[in-house]
Amino acid sequence: MRIRLALLVTVMLSVTPIVPSDAADRGDRFALVIGNSKYPDADAPLKEPVNDARDVADELKRDGFNVEVGENLTGDGMHRAFDRLYGRIKPGSVALVFFSGFGVQSNRQSFMIPVDAQIWTEADVRRDGFSLETVLGEISNRGAGVKIALIDASRRNPYERRFRSFSAGLAPVIAPNGTLVMYSAALSSVISDNGNDHSLFVQELLKEIRVPDLMAEETLNRTRLGVTRASRTEQVPWISSSLAEDFSFIPGANPRPSTPAIAVLPQPAAPQPAPLPALPRQDPVTPPKIEVLAPAEKPVEKNEGSPAVALADDPTIKALTAKLADNPDDQNALYRRGQVYASKGAYDLAIKDFDGSIRLNPKDVEALNNRCWTRTVIGDLAAALKDCNEALRLRPNFVDALDSRGLVNLKSGLAKNAIADFDAALKINPRLTSSLYGRGLAKKRNGAMAEGDLDIANAKAMDPNIVKEYADYGVN
């Protein structure tokens, strides 16, 4: 299990309009540029987004755009910024959105995440995030002739291990006609924040925007090639275009018909998402407002016997404990505090909170599954199996419980039962790397060495950390 050290970050809203002096002559180009760096759930502020947003805003200003740049925007701040952009759009105008920060894929859509998002379940992504498809649709409805989205959000983020249905990277966008979209990396792939002041993607983008006589599609195509070469194919941006008219970032540019259509560019095979050991809760639930979230991304030692006082300074635990002091029967607070305890290796404390949550709602299949998983990690296998069986009785084909029960059977030495559970989970979700790796181990223990090695190799190709993850569960 991996977690991040919780840091309480005070996020300030900073929105600065930048308008070129001759905006009256070139007022049909509008851009919203957002750089979100200070996410409380992250280890430390990202270095790239704010610097990149400022540089992109300055370049777009020189290119005749009316630009608003937002730094470290909260959800309310992003709502207001998008509303202002929508209000400026005129029929036939150009509208551009640049976003750098964390992005999350959910239900085959890509969501831009504000700095104060409180994401513990997939439903939270849809509640707190901003769907790129929704934004482009609204821009189109306002009459924009050219829609451009430049999204530098293919980063591994601190939310992904909180629900197992998470898919890494960004999803393909279904955009209206007249739209040009570019992601900084391939679909369903992630890149690491390089620790520099500027991202490779933005460096290459700005270099190509400044080349005269290029149409926008060629500009982005050249950016893609530049990033691919500079990263030695480790980072390959993704482009989608349905532009029906010529458009250049530099006004007055003459087209140079030298580049093939972007639609025929081959896209690399997208890597599969990493497995997510953080505890899931998939049903849409309206949670209580929690001001600060505990991140989840650093190896921890198993410390199930740690007293609550050792975790008392954790801001999320403090907030949830305060809620429970006011209302000891707040089931959602019990469930979420159990998640935080489990993510920090305080397994006994986590189980106590899951006990309380299940006492209040015996049919809470997510709490049953999470208690099953936690009991499995500490070796209480008989009780874990009972929890998983109950979760599956209440919700047949619950993929997370099948995955958890597969782990129970694997640790119990019941290889055939483990294979059956992992098979069932993979039939529902073929991208579930934890089940693929677990099935490989189970097959090898059952004598099918070649088949097991193939599953293990495929799982490791999807996620090189899967071996350590299983070792942390006590399975080698």
**Does residue 183 have a pLDDT over 90?**
yes
Predicted local confidence at residue 91, as pLDDT? 93
**pLDDT band at residue 305 under the 50/70/90 scheme:** very low
Given 206, 239, 264, the domain boundary residue is 264
Between 314 and 437, whose confidence is greater? Answer: 437
Q: Mean of the pLDDT values across residues 418-442? A: 88
Amino acid at 90: K
Q: Last residue of a domain, which of 264, 290, 322? A: 264
pLDDT surpassing 90 at residue 449: yes
Q: Which amino acid is at 109?
A: Q
Residue among 157, 181, 182 at smallest CA distance from 169: 157
Give the model's pLDDT for residue 194: 60
The percentage of residues in the chain with a pLDDT greater than 90, rounded to a whole number, is: 47
Range of the domain at 44: 14-264
DSSP sequence for 230-290: HTTTS---EEEE---S---SSTTPPP---S--GGGPPPPPPPPPPP--SPP--S---PPP-
Q: What is the pLDDT of residue 265?
A: 36
Q: With respect to residue 334, please indicate whether it lies within any of the assigned structural domains.
A: no
Q: Is residue 460 part of a domain?
A: yes
Domain containing 145 — which CATH number?
Answer: 3.40.50.1460
CA atoms within 13 A of residue 274's CA, in its CB half-sphere: 27
Span 292-312, average pLDDT:
42
pLDDT reported for residue 258:
39
Least confident of 152-161, 218-227, 249-258, 406-415: 249-258
Give the C-alpha distances (Å, rounded to integers) separating 367 from 184, 203, 206, 317, 353.
Answer: 37, 46, 48, 18, 9
Average pLDDT, the chain: 79
Q: What percent of the chain has pLDDT over 70?
A: 79
Give the count of beta carbons closer than 10 Å to the beta carbon of residue 123. Answer: 19
pLDDT of residue 123: 78
Band of pLDDT at residue 460, cut at 50, 70 and 90: confident
What's the rounded Cα separation, in Å, for the pair 201 and 103? 15
Considering the entire predicted model, what is its pTM? 0.53
Closest-CA residue to 155 (of 116, 118, 200): 200
pLDDT digits (tens, 9 = 90+) for 1-48: 322 222 222 233 344 443 333 333 345 999 999 999 999 877 778 889
CATH number, domain containing residue 426: 1.25.40.10
Most confident option among 102-106, 196-200, 375-379, 461-465 = 375-379
Report the pLDDT value the prediction gives residue 346, as an integer from 0 to 100. 87
DSSP state of 72: S
Q: In this structure, what token pair is assigned to residue 132?
A: 């790129």
Cβ count within 10 A of residue 345: 21
Q: Which of 355, 354, 410, 352 is nearest to 379 (CA)?
A: 410
172 is written with which tokens? Answer: 């393909």
Q: Which of 326, 328, 332 is nearest to 289 (CA)?
A: 332
Label residue 172 by pLDDT band (50, 70, 90): confident
Q: What is the DSSP string of 145-206?
A: SEEEEEEE--B--TTGGG-TT-B-S-PPP---SSEEEEESS-TT--B---SSSS-HHHHHHH
Structure token digits, residue 256: 């140079």
Domain C-terminal end among 247, 264, 281: 264
Q: Are residues 40 and 187 in the same domain?
A: yes
Give pLDDT, residue 181. 96
289 against 419, higher pLDDT: 419
* Assigned domain for 251 exists: yes
Q: How much is the pLDDT for 253?
A: 57
Q: Determine, yes or no, domain membership for 350.
A: no
Predicted local confidence at residue 165, as pLDDT: 53
Please compute the mean of the pLDDT values over residues 117-133 and round it to a whole number: 86
Give the model's confidence band at 158: pLDDT under 50 very low, under 70 low, under 90 confident, else very high. Answer: confident
Q: Note whether 405 and 258 are same-domain residues.
A: no
User: Around 140, how many Cα atoms within 13 Å sit in the side-chain half-sphere?
Assistant: 18
**What integer pLDDT is reported at residue 427 of this predicted model?**
85
Provide the 3-class DSSP secondary structure of residue 369: helix
Nearest to 320 by CA among 337, 306, 340: 337
- Tell me: the pLDDT tens digits for 388-400? 999 999 988 888 8
Looking at the structure, do residues 20 and 168 belong to the same domain, yes or no?
A: yes
DSSP sequence for 377-415: HHT-HHHHHHHHHHHHHHSTT-HHHHHHHHHHHHHTT-H
Residue 375 lies in a domain: no
pLDDT at 211: 87
pLDDT digits 0-9 by tens, 227-241 = 999 888 889 999 999
Q: Which residues pair with 18 in a beta bridge?
A: 67
Is 451 in a helix, a strand, or coil? helix
Q: In the prediction, which pLDDT does 86 show?
A: 95
Given a cut of 90, whether residue 155 has pLDDT beyond it is no
Q: Running DSSP on this structure, what letter comes out for residue 211?
A: S
Does 233 fall in a domain?
yes
pLDDT band at 254 (very low <50, low <70, confident <90, very high): low
Tokens of 351: 């189980």
Q: And the tokens for 21?
A: 């002096």
The predicted structure's pLDDT at residue 22: 37
Specify the pLDDT at position 30: 97
Residue with tokens 């505090």: 337
Domains held by the chain: number: 2
Q: Is residue 173 part of a domain?
A: yes
Asked if residue 5 belongs to a domain, the reply is no
Residue 359 CB neighbours (<10 A): 13
State the burial class of residue 301 (Cβ atoms within 10 Å of its Cβ: 0-12, 13-18, 19+): exposed
